[in-house]
Amino acid sequence: MTETAQPEAEQQGFEVIPHDDHLSRKCLRPGDARQAAAAAIQQAEEAIGQLSIHFDGWMEQEAARLAKARDMTLQTSMGAEALDELFQVAHDLKGQASTLGYPLAADICASLCRLIDRAPVPAELPGDLLSHHVDAVRAIARDHATGIENAKASALTEKLREVTEDYLAQIRSRVEAAEANAA
């Protein structure tokens, strides 16, 4: 990229450096872009399809990692470091589970992250509710409940989301009432 002197712009406090085309010069070739993109994407989807024979095993490993983080959280009575680790593992899995073919596990991890993130006093988080999320993810991984068709996994996911939202709503009401009383 070539830097262009722009004295006026510099006086104004910013400088625009025009882009260069070195990447396009390096890798764009004559041809039908749309056809090439479609072919490349199809090849990539087929490659992911071949890789997917590993996904069930990977999902079980990730679910075990989540359970380990949950165990540490409960052992330390919602210790801040352990809870942060649980959040991170759940958040990672929220991003990964759909790629691995487990969208319901991703939804449960999203609910778990929301529960941890939105609770005003993390130390008072209900251990049972945390555990139910983690156990549900483990069950889904163990039973290879991929997709969104599994009725039991789907109902479980919906129930966890509902209970979590109820809990967060109750907590919010309690905090608002306490603030109103204090005022």
**Site mask for other proteins (CB under 8 A), range 71-90, x = bound:** -----------------x--
Length of the chain, in residues: 183
Tokens 């712009």 identify what position? 9
Alpha carbons within 13 angstroms on the beta-carbon side of residue 28 total 7
155 scored as a contact of other proteins (CB under 8 A): no
15 scored as a contact of other proteins (CB under 8 A): yes
CB of 180 to other proteins, least distance (A): 26
For 39-103, the DSSP string reads: HHHHHHHHHHHHHGGGHHHHHHHHHHHHHHHHHHHHHTTS-HHHHHHHHHHHHHHHHHHHHTT-H
Restricted to residues 110-149, the positions that interact with other proteins (CB under 8 A) are 110
**Number of CB atoms found within 10 A of residue 15's CB:** 12
Among 5, 7, 13, 149, binds other proteins (CB under 8 A): 13
181 vs 167: CA distance, rounded Å: 21
Among 48, 80, 148, 177, binds other proteins (CB under 8 A): 48
CB of 181 to other proteins, least distance (A): 30
Size, binding site for other proteins by CB under 8 A: 49
**CB closer to other proteins, 90 vs 136:** 90
8 scored as a contact of other proteins (CB under 8 A): no
Query: Which residues, 6 or more positions from 176, have their beta carbon under 8 angstroms from its beta carbon?
Result: none
Question: Helices 103-118 and 127-142 meet at what angle, rounded to 10?
Answer: 170
Tokens of 3: 């830097």
CB of 53 to other proteins, least distance (A): 12
Among 19, 118, 172, 174, binds other proteins (CB under 8 A): 19
| Contacting positions for other proteins (CB under 8 A) | 1, 12-21, 23-24, 26-37, 40-41, 43-48, 51, 58, 61-62, 88, 91-92, 94-100, 106, 110
